[in-house]
């Protein structure tokens, strides 16, 4: 008998040592672990823990979703700004072309040696070509990855340059109208 008791003791010892490492999660611990988990209340704790983690994940997911929506909104806003700039530059291009024609007629008139006519003859074709360049840059920007730093800087520069050229066009246009009177 002694040998038989000895083996039983050894098996119990092994069984207990196995228990010591069994998870309290009933799905992981097998039957014995599951019984132990249920009987000690650890199972409820585990469910609560899972629910808490799920709530956190849902919150993070919600925040990410809001952030994504913000980014998309910002990107859409940027795209709208670029589209608006393109429309402004197109209008400016038409205005400058008309001014250029007026300057041509002024150049043929008796005023052709006036310093203001010379300024118009020099600068109007330049701003015409600069404006065309802005148009092409804005066209290229519309399909680009707005939101990255370089594209945003480029857009900011183009907006400011358009505003500056527009102000210069207004001055030159006024000058040409004064000369035409």
Which region, judged by CB under 8 A, interacts with other proteins, from 20-28, 60-68, 99-107, 151-159? 151-159
Among 164, 170, 174, 177, binds other proteins (CB under 8 A): 164
Among 64, 153, 171, 177, binds other proteins (CB under 8 A): 153
* Least gap, CB of 111 to other proteins (angstroms): 19
Which region, judged by CB under 8 A, interacts with other proteins, from 2-10, 22-30, 73-81, 134-142? 134-142
Q: DSSP letters of the chain?
A: -HHHHHHHHHHHHHHHHHHHT--SSTTTSHHHHHHHHHHHTHHHHHHHHHHHHHHHHHHHHHHHHHHHHHHHHHHHHHHHHHHHHHHHHHHHHHHHHHHHHHHHHHHTSGGGGSHHHHHHHHHHHHHHHHHHHHHHHHHHHHTS-BTBHHHHHHHHHHHHHHHHHHHHHHHHHHHHHHHH-
Please say which residue, 50 or 75, places its beta carbon nearer to other proteins.
75
Residue 157 engages other proteins in binding (rule: CB under 8 A): yes
Which residues lie near other proteins (CB under 8 A)?
Answer: 123, 126-127, 129-130, 133, 136-137, 140, 149-150, 152-154, 156-157, 159-161, 163-165, 168
């Amino acid at each position: 008998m002694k040998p038989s008791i000895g083996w039983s003791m050894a098996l119990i010892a092994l069984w207990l040592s196995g228990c010591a490492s069994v998870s309290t999660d009933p799905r992981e611990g097998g039957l014995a672990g599951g019984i132990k988990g249920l009987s000690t209340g650890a199972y409820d704790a585990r469910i609560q823990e899972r629910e808490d983690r799920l709530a956190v994940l849902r919150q993070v997911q919600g925040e990410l979703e809001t952030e994504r929506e913000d980014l998309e909104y910002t990107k859409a806003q940027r795209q709208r700004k670029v589209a608006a700039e393109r429309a402004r530059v197109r209008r400016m291009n038409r205005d400058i072309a008309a001014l250029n024609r007026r300057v041509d007629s002024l150049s043929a008139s008796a005023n052709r040696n006036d310093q203001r006519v010379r300024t118009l003859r020099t600068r109007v074709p330049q701003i015409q070509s600069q404006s065309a360049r802005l148009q092409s840059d804005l066209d290229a920007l519309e399909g680009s990855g707005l939101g990255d730093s370089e594209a945003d800087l480029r857009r900011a520069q183009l907006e400011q340059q358009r505003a500056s050229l527009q102000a210069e066009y207004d001055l030159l246009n006024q000058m040409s109208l004064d000369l035409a009177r």
